[in-house]
Amino acid sequence: MSELKVYRTEDASLEPLAGKTIAILGYGIQGSAQAQNLRDSGLNVIVGGRPGKSSDAAKADGFYTHSFVDAAEKADIVCLMTPDPSHAEVYAQIRSALPGKTLVFAHGSSIHFGWIRPDAGIDVVLIAPSGSGRTVRESFLSQKGMVATFAVHQDASGRAKVTALALCKALGFLNAGVFESSFKDEAVCDLFGEQAVLCGGVPELVRYAYQTLVDKGYSKEMAYLGTLYELRSLADLYASAGLDGMLERVSEAARFGGLVAGPKTVGPETKVRMAAILDEIESGRFMQEFSQETKTGFACTRQMLEKEKTSDMSRTGERIRKRFTL
């Protein structure tokens, strides 16, 4: 197996972006961070959006704002930063403005699941950060950068990769390192990681652990700190040192206890359930369900979130946050 090529600052130049206008369509969590990073790198950035909250925020941050269509017409590079289920609709509006330009995604689903089948004559690239918009901005300001992946779906100009790498540089990602992937790998791995671990599996483990302690009569505050709050320092270790490095850096009791109790907590049946989750994602069934959910105005999501907000654990967290500096 050949070694993965990791692109760093010296591997790209901003020259391919000189004199170009970049339109960020959608000024939300990711769009606002990327627009500001690109502008701070000296590039000409405009924002496209619907009238309202986000366009007002972009104006307040000093950007010229336009409709989606006007922004796409004025730009050479168009970055689609609205929520994924809206991509097909926004693409239909801007389609006639795109020939000869570069269309950029921050997540691979729209192309991988076929919601958008871009016309020939457009460069289509993916630049996917490995973190939220807030960390995209923070890591740019600290010059630490953030690991990201890029992919080329269509290369009409023969310069799609050079453009993608220049954008990665301007976004600050090359400071941390970037590698080439595919729309499919990014879409599937990103969704699976969110569901099985980051926003799904870990919170569920935490809920069970908290409730196990509270049911046995331990204080809610102690249970909260031990099962949730301490995740913060460990999460940093997971990322900077890996699971082995984390285990080397914790106490002897934590290392031994963790290694013995981990497989007792999560077993082979979890892998079977994870395979089912992966199948939902790969088959496109999850995205169909999500698309339905967006059409209802996120009715299920709001119900489930309300249940979480009113749970005993969330109430405990609220009390703790009011009384301590976390």
Ligand X SMILES: NC(=O)c1ccc[n+]([C@@H]2O[C@H](COP(=O)([O-])OP(=O)(O)OC[C@H]3O[C@@H](n4cnc5c(N)ncnc54)[C@H](OP(=O)(O)O)[C@@H]3O)[C@@H](O)[C@H]2O)c1
Give the C-alpha separation, 299 to 306, whole Å. 11
For the bound state, the minimum distance from the C-beta of residue 231 to ligand X, rounded and expressed in Å, comes to 19
For the bound state, the minimum distance from the C-beta of residue 115 to ligand X, rounded and expressed in Å, comes to 11
Give the C-alpha separation, 229 to 134, whole Å. 20
Residue 87 annotated as catalytic:
no
Task: Pick the binder of ligand X from 82, 102, 139, 163 (CB under 6 A).
Answer: 82
Site for ligand X, residues 19 to 78, rule: CB under 6 A: 26-31, 49-50, 52-54
Identify the three-state secondary structure at position 118: coil
The active-site residue out of 87, 107, 112, 153 is 107
For the bound state, the minimum distance from the C-beta of residue 21 to ligand X, rounded and expressed in Å, comes to 19
159 binds ligand X (CB under 6 A): no
- Whose Cβ is closer to ligand X: residue 82's or residue 139's? 82
Task: Pick the binder of ligand X from 45, 98, 133, 160 (CB under 6 A).
Answer: 133
- Whose Cβ is closer to ligand X: residue 49's or residue 246's? 49
Among the listed ranges 9-17, 82-90, 232-240, 310-318, the one in contact with ligand X (CB under 6 A) is 82-90
- Whose Cβ is closer to ligand X: residue 9's or residue 86's? 86
User: Concatenated DSSP letters for 199-244?
Assistant: TTHHHHHHHHHHHHHHHTT--HHHHHIIIIITHHHHHHHHHHHHHH
132 binds ligand X (CB under 6 A): yes
83 binds ligand X (CB under 6 A): yes
288 binds ligand X (CB under 6 A): no
Q: Whose structure tokens read 């935490």?
A: 206
Task: Pick the binder of ligand X from 107, 112, 153, 169 (CB under 6 A).
Answer: 107
Kindly give, in sequence order, each residue whose CB lies less than 8 Å from that of residue 56, ignoring residues fewer than 6 positions away: none
- Whose Cβ is closer to ligand X: residue 131's or residue 203's? 131
What's at 199, amino acid-wise?
C
Task: Pick the binder of ligand X from 12, 35, 106, 164 (CB under 6 A).
Answer: 106
Give the C-alpha separation, 60 to 309, whole Å. 32
Give the C-alpha separation, 242 to 305, whole Å. 31
Q: Please report the beta strands in 70-184, taking only residues with DSSP state E, as ranges in sequence order.
A: 77-80, 102-105, 123-129, 148-154, 178-180
Given a contact cutoff of 8 angstroms between Cβ atoms, the answer to whether 88 and 117 are in contact is no
For the bound state, the minimum distance from the C-beta of residue 97 to ligand X, rounded and expressed in Å, comes to 16
Residue number with the shortest CB distance to ligand X?
Answer: 28
Task: Pick the binder of ligand X from 41, 86, 195, 211 (CB under 6 A).
Answer: 86
Contacts 24+ apart (CB under 8 A), 55-58: 55/27, 57/27, 57/32, 58/27, 58/32
b/e per residue 277-291 (b: at least 16 CB within 10 A): bbebbeeeebbeebe
81 binds ligand X (CB under 6 A): yes
For the bound state, the minimum distance from the C-beta of residue 129 to ligand X, rounded and expressed in Å, comes to 5
The residues that are catalytic are 107
Interface residues with ligand X (CB under 6 A) are 26-31, 49-50, 52-54, 81-84, 86, 90, 106-107, 129, 132-133
